[in-house]
A = this chain, B = another copy of it.
Amino acid sequence: MLSVLFLMATTSKPRPPQRFGSVLGLKGEKLDEYKMLHAAVWPTVAGAIRSVNTRNYSGCLRQMPDGNHYLFSYLEDTRSDLAGHRRKLAANPEVKKWWSLTDPRQQPLADRKEGEWWASMQEVFHQE
């Protein structure tokens, strides 16, 4: 009985969604290819992202004053373990195939934290 309650507490209890902002460089010469890929994300990849509880996921592009192009992502997640999500996604063959197309077109920030691909940002305000 106790173990059932424990299981319920650890797996079923809904947590309020948390917000995550991240940033990644994109290689300028691969920009059009990157945008084309993301105009039609594979349903298998979209499904895998949903399966790790990621919601309201957007990516916005901007050329910054250093002349380089950066992609900023915003997502909401009911769990805080983004690194764990990435490990789970990495085990999915379709996601692996997708990343083999997207990774070479990306330029992750050199000073990202250990284990990050997308460099996390610090939320300084939020209003519902």
In the complex, which residues of chain B have a beta carbon less than 8 angstroms from the beta carbon of A41? Answer: 125, 127
Asked if A61 is an interface residue, CB under 8 A from chain B, the answer is yes
Asked if A60 is an interface residue, CB under 8 A from chain B, the answer is yes
* Chain copies in the assembled complex: 2
In chain A, positions 1-51 with a C-beta closer than 8 Å to chain B are: 19, 21, 23, 25, 34-35, 38-39, 41, 46, 49-50
Is B21 a contact partner of A127 (Cβ separation < 8 A)?
no
5 contacts between A and B (CB under 8 A): A41-B125, A59-B124, A60-B124, A64-B64, A65-B111
With A66-B66, A72-B72 given, name 6 new contacts (CB 8 A): A25-B65, A38-B125, A57-B127, A58-B125, A64-B64, A64-B109
